[in-house]
Amino acid sequence: MSTLNPVDSNGMSVAAGTTTQASEPTEGGVLRLHAEDVQVSKEQVEIARVDVSTRTKTREVLVSEELAREGVEVTTVPVGRRIDAMPAIRQEGDVTIVPVVEEIVVVERRLMLKEELHVRRVRSTHRHEETVTLRYQEAEVVRRPLDGATGNDTKA
């Protein structure tokens, strides 16, 4: 009986054995011939190891985005008018009017509308560009054959 241990394409060891049986002559002059019998078995054999490592890198990227900025313009409008009660803050279109009053001493106290503050919202947009640093990773896979292993060694 002889035994071979080749490795198949999946890295499996294939054990094959053959046996030979001899026959004796039988009556009628018929001679039996040899017959072979095959037994196959598989076992998993480690032929290489794989190392995987990651490396973080950076790259510069230009980011361009439309930004909005909102501010206010305050204008003082002198009024100088006598009033009897405190006026409320009011809105006229896109202008908010805030009354500013003061007391003046006369024989009696009276409210005098001294001035108004006209507050207008002003919106502007501008293009903002800035270079930012982004991180990313790359993976490196290296296949290392084991000592005494059989099979194809490839680098992934």
The percent of residues above 70 in pLDDT, for the chain, comes to: 76
Domain boundaries defined on the chain: 2-48, 62-125
- Calpha distance 133→60 (Å, rounded): 5
Residue 57: name the closest of 135, 131, 139, 133 by CA: 135
- Burial environment of residue 60 by CB neighbours within 10 A (0 to 12, 13 to 18, 19 or more): exposed
CA 92 to chain centre: 49
User: pLDDT (tens digit, 9 = 90+) per residue, 11-58?
Assistant: 555 554 544 455 565 666 777 777 888 888 888 888 888 899 999 999
Chain segment 112-126, per-residue pLDDT in tens: 899 998 989 989 999
pLDDT at 97 over 90: yes
The 10 Å CB-count burial string (b at 16+, else e) for 100-112 is eeeeeeeeeeebe
Give the C-alpha distances (Å, rounded to integers) separating 46 from 13, 16, 52, 88, 149. Answer: 10, 19, 17, 88, 7
Angle at 111 between CA 110 and CA 116, to 5 degrees: 160
